[in-house]
Structure 1
């Protein structure tokens, strides 16, 4: 889909988020983390860094980091998501 839409099309970030969700639900947290990172980058390019879609993935990334016992990383992602929602 990247070839058809281009790297900055909003659908790319949404698709990557969905794939990350699958990995997270399968408890493949390392792969989910990498996929969510790609999704965040794609969504920031498409919508800007303070868009609600970015906040949603930041929350999902926080869940994954918490499962991987990266509590500081999880907190950082949750706090950024909260800032976006409140802005």
Structure 2
């Protein structure tokens, strides 16, 4: 006889939370990749290298979305760096 672990509420809740966290992590990682790609295209590889560590440390999806908008609309790398500094 096999025990279905989903019959235990705490296991079911733990599994649900793990799936939600994995999904959020995946979305944040995707946004981070998008952001670094935009910076690379707009401001060059040097711009990405200067900021990549700081950007990769951000896990909040809303902040990453705001930074993507800033990267698309900033007139210079310096302007984007100011937007990044204001988000932290």
Larger Rg: 2
Length-normalised TM-score, structure 1: 0.35
